[in-house]
Chain A
Amino acid sequence: MKKYIKEYGFILLFVIFGILSYIYSFAFGIKASKTFLDMFIEMISFIPIVFVLVGLLDAWIPKKKFEKYMGPESGLKGTLLSVIFSMFQAGPLYGAFPIVYILYKKGASVKNIFIFLGCFSSLKIPMLTIETGYLGIEFTLARAIITVPLFIAIGYLMDYYLKNKDFKVTDPTESN
């Protein structure tokens, strides 16, 4: 019971507020309810299919296979794989660091690590799908097309900068 109140209490309160606003013609409440209803309809009209696709992606893509081919000798293929591998991820940026650690352990190059990190932050397919729904395909495509070369450039830059600097990715959960 307590759990439900915590999860849905605020929503219930707002619904009651909305209904009362309509009964008593409270202009602010009516406006807020209308804005919310617009946003809610927009959300419910496409978000469910996005998450179904996210689930499917997870069931089909063998993520483990990518990790092997991102080493220093992987060249263009490694760069491409870093971009593609990042696109099949989900979750916030801080969730990427543990993955980066695993990639580092498996011998991924500095360049590919930073390309992966960059593309993870802004090219994940689930996110791009939601972005398309809200801001349109033109916006999403423009952003993706501009973003990829910039992240590849950052990857090369980091690689160049860290060349003789003994760069390590450490796992904070392991050391203490």
Chain B
Amino acid sequence: MFPNIILLWIAGIAIVSISYYFDKEKTKQGVNKGIKIFKGLSSPFVNIMIIASIILVLVPPEMIEQYLGGDSGFFGVGLSAIIGSVTLIPAFIVYPIASELLKRGASYMVIATFITTLLMVGVVTYPLESKYLGKKVALIRNVLNFFAAIIIGLLIGAIM
């Protein structure tokens, strides 16, 4: 966690400096836009973290380990794939929760499956998607992505 953050800041400051060197106006414009996005997202972000921290305290770590841990096997992966497919939460909100679950004993395989299905499969947005792509094509895309997401989850679980 910690070295990653330092790396991010070093890379970030370097990129901002290079950008400033080449184009002051564009850089100012871009940085301002970024700050604006951050301000807009910060309160929903904090709200979701409050809810997550209350739930995480209520749910004992043993339970997380039992249902989402390394020994949960097919059940854990299947459960997280289904939950990931039917929920519609912005990814950036899911990462802090995923990181807390990992610290509390969830396995990489389960977390990776949950994140990938969440990103790639959209049951809630299927009606909208089918308006653009047609019902059949949207269905095929979601089904293919569902299996691709499980493959990704299993492979990450095997690597990490």
Q: Select the stretch in A28-36, A68-76, A77-85 that faces chain B.
A: A28-36
- In chain A, positions 120-171 with a C-beta closer than 8 Å to chain B are 121-122, 126-127, 129-139, 142-143, 146-147, 150-151, 154, 157-158, 161-162, 167-171
* B34, B52, B155: residue with the most chain A Cβ atoms closer than 10 Å: B34
List B contacts of A154 (CB < 8 A). 141, 144-145, 148
Cross-chain contact B4 with A137 (CB below 8 angstroms): yes
Cross-chain contact B50 with A134 (CB below 8 angstroms): no
- In chain A, positions 31-70 with a C-beta closer than 8 Å to chain B are 31-33, 35-36, 39-40, 42-43, 45-60
List A contacts of B128 (CB < 8 A). 94, 97, 172
Cross-chain contact B156 with A121 (CB below 8 angstroms): no
Cross-chain contact A56 with B95 (CB below 8 angstroms): no
Cross-chain contact A93 with B122 (CB below 8 angstroms): yes
Nearest first, the 3 A-B pairs at minimum CB distance are: A55-B34, A59-B30, A55-B33
Q: Quick check: is A24 within 8 A (CB to CB) of the other chain?
A: no
Contact with A along B126-151 (1 / 0, CB 8 A): 00110111100100110011001001
Name the residue on A nearest B159 (C-beta).
A142
Name the residue on B nearest A123 (C-beta).
B119
Cross-chain pair count, CB within 8 angstroms: 204
Q: Quick check: is B125 within 8 A (CB to CB) of the other chain?
A: yes
Would you mind naming 13 contact pairs between A and B with Cβ atoms under 8 Å apart? A35-B56, A47-B38, A48-B35, A49-B8, A56-B16, A56-B27, A58-B30, A59-B33, A132-B8, A133-B5, A133-B8, A154-B144, A172-B131
Name the residue on A nearest B25 (C-beta).
A59
Mostly, the B contact residues are helix
Which residues from chain B sit less than 8 Å from chain A, CB to CB? Answer: 1, 4-5, 7-9, 12-13, 15-16, 19, 26-27, 29-38, 41, 43, 45-47, 49-50, 52-54, 56-57, 88, 90-92, 95-96, 98-100, 102, 108, 111-112, 115-116, 119-120, 122, 125, 128-129, 131-134, 137, 140-141, 144-145, 148, 151-152, 155-156, 159-160
Cross-chain contact B8 with A146 (CB below 8 angstroms): no
A84 to B111 alpha-carbon distance, docked (Å): 26
Q: Quick check: is A22 within 8 A (CB to CB) of the other chain?
A: no
List B contacts of A158 (CB < 8 A). 137, 140-141, 144
Which residues from chain A sit less than 8 Å from chain B, CB to CB? Answer: 7-8, 10-11, 14, 28, 31-33, 35-36, 39-40, 42-43, 45-60, 92-94, 97-98, 100-101, 114, 117-118, 121-122, 126-127, 129-139, 142-143, 146-147, 150-151, 154, 157-158, 161-162, 167-172
**With A36-B49, A136-B1 given, is the CB distance from A59 to B43 under 8 Å?**
no
List A contacts of B92 (CB < 8 A). 47, 126-127, 130
